[in-house]
Amino acid sequence: MFNGILIEKDEQGYRANLQRISDEQLPPGDVTVRVAYSTLNFKDGLAITGSSPVVRSFPMVPGIDLAGTVEASAHPDYQVGDEVLLNGWGVGEGHWGGLAQRARLDGNWLIPLPKAFSAAQSMAIGTAGYTAMLAILALERHGVTPEQGEVLVTGANGGVGSFSIALLARLGYRVVASTGRTAEHAYLQQLGASDIIDRASLSQPGKPLAKERWAAVIDSVGSHTLANACAATRANGTVAACGLAQGMDFPASVAPFILRGVTLAGINSVTQPKALRMLAWDRLGQDLDPALLPLISQEIGLSEAIEAAPRLLAGQLRGRVVVDVNR
């Protein structure tokens, strides 16, 4: 038996509870992991609260990230005692995830825990930092360099935004952070933001084209914010889209793409091939200052995760929420 958060939906309604779970209830998989840490992401908040139908089967253990130690393996790449991590692959939605003390998984979803990070540090980074690095790799593939001008980061106080700022600044870019939380300006400057703008300047309906400003954009917000970011991106610039905090819609025109040659690069953090996942984590080990992790993240116990979920969705929690599943 082990502790875990279990989401159930039946005639009694939709509910998430911390409870004891038996090993026999674990789903199929060729690797069993003793989980040390997981995280509370935006998607986990939606799953726990039932605010959006992200859970595709019931019962479900949420948690799209996990780090831990292999307890049993029939997969050729992993042996008992190996330290591993997982981001994405539909865990916490269609397959039991990391917000429990044990997980049984497809070994192809795992990668070895990078030597640069402890299990707790890897979860402080989690899907958010991994997604930010995938976005930066996309900007680099499209030829974006620091000399070309400012890079806009929307949703700056969130996990993806926080890591995007920290990584871009360390790589030499001038970063402009968009946020609605004026009280967090000092935090964003500590991460490396050179300038801060009010998200209201981007979140309302705008023009098909605006004055050129951004050499590139990392957007985790979507909707009007993404449309306005594209409209103000400079000729041949690149916009990496990786989130939908404002909405899934994209109320834009083709003008930035056909008149300025702007590239809209979609960032899929869920099902990337192993080689790209490992490249992203290797780059995180090189380009992320680990001293920033205590600033970007906070740690809670598994028993606190359900209560924290609605506060995360309401934007009341800064950066990353690491979950120690053993307390």
- Model confidence pLDDT, tens digit, residues 24-76: 999 999 999 999 999 999 899 999 999 988 999 999 999 999 999 999 999 99
Q: Which residues pair with 102 in a beta bridge?
A: 34
The pLDDT of residue 315: 78
**Average pLDDT for residues 142-163, to the nearest whole number?**
95
Q: What is the DSSP letter of 12?
A: T
Q: Domain for residue 178, yes or no? A: yes
Higher per-residue confidence, 315 vs 171: 171
Q: Return the ∠ at Cα 86 (arms to 47 and 25), rounded to 5°.
A: 60
- With a cut of 80, say whether residue 228 has pLDDT above it: yes
Q: Domain for residue 313, yes or no? A: yes
Q: Domain for residue 217, yes or no? A: yes
Q: What is the DSSP letter of 107?
A: G
- Tell me the longest C-alpha to C-alpha distance in the chain: 60
**Average pLDDT for residues 114-134, to the nearest whole number?**
97
Q: Domain for residue 118, yes or no? A: no
Are residue 96 and residue 174 in the same domain, yes or no? no
The pLDDT of residue 136: 98
Which tens digits make up the pLDDT trace of 136-152? 999 999 999 999 999 99
Are residue 131 and residue 256 in the same domain, yes or no? yes
- With a cut of 90, say whether residue 175 has pLDDT above it: yes
Name the phi and psi angles at 214, rounded to 5. Answer: -90, 130
**Average pLDDT for residues 108-120, to the nearest whole number?**
97
Are residue 310 and residue 255 in the same domain, yes or no? no
Q: How many other CB atoms are there within 10 angstroms of residue 306's CB atom?
A: 19
Tokens of 117: 């990070």
The pLDDT of residue 52: 87
- With a cut of 80, say whether residue 284 has pLDDT above it: yes
**Average pLDDT for residues 175-199, to the nearest whole number?**
94
The pLDDT of residue 55: 96
What CATH number is given to the structural domain containing 221? 3.40.50.720
The pLDDT of residue 296: 93
Report the amino acid identity of residue 302.
Answer: L
Residue 14 pLDDT class (50, 70, 90 cuts):
very high
- With a cut of 90, say whether residue 108 has pLDDT above it: yes
Angle between helices 159-170 and 274-287 (to 10 degrees): 60
Are residue 297 and residue 253 in the same domain, yes or no? no
Question: Percent of the chain, pLDDT > 90?
Answer: 93
- With a cut of 80, say whether residue 318 has pLDDT above it: no
d(CA 32, CA 27): 10
Note every long-range contact of 79-82, with CB atoms under 8 Å and residues 24 or more positions apart, other chains counting.
82/112
What does the buried/exposed string (b/e) look like for 69-82 if buried means 16 or more CB atoms within 10 Å of the residue's CB? ebeebebeebeeeb
Q: Domain for residue 275, yes or no? A: no
Q: Domain for residue 278, yes or no? A: no
Are residue 147 and residue 259 in the same domain, yes or no? yes
**How long is the chain?**
327
The pLDDT of residue 50: 94
Are residue 175 and residue 81 in the same domain, yes or no? no
Are residue 214 and residue 319 in the same domain, yes or no? no
Query: Do the Cβ atoms of 326 and 154 come closer than 8 Å?
Result: no
The pLDDT of residue 317: 81
Q: Domain for residue 277, yes or no? A: no
Name the phi and psi angles at 54, rounded to 5. Answer: -80, -25
Q: Could you tell me the residue range of the domain that residue 73 belongs to?
A: 2-113+289-324
Are residue 189 and residue 135 in the same domain, yes or no? yes
What is the dihedral angle through the alpha carbons of 68, 74, 77, 79, rounded to the nearest 10 degrees? 50
**Average pLDDT for residues 106-124, to the nearest whole number?**
97
Domain count, the chain: 2
Residue 319 pLDDT class (50, 70, 90 cuts):
confident
d(CA 251, CA 298): 35
Nearest alpha carbon to residue 319 among 203, 225, 191, 173:
191
Tokens of 163: 């890591």
Question: Percent of the chain, pLDDT > 70?
Answer: 100
Q: Domain for residue 284, yes or no? A: no
Q: Return the ∠ at Cα 77 (arms to 73 and 78), rounded to 5°.
A: 40
Are residue 168 and residue 256 in the same domain, yes or no? yes
The pLDDT of residue 316: 82
The kind and range of the H/E element at 232 are none
Contacts of 248 by beta carbon, 8 Å cutoff, 6+ apart: 222, 223
Tokens of 187: 């935090």
Residue 322 pLDDT class (50, 70, 90 cuts):
very high
What CATH number is given to the structural domain containing 305? 3.90.180.10
**Average pLDDT for residues 13-22, to the nearest whole number?**
96
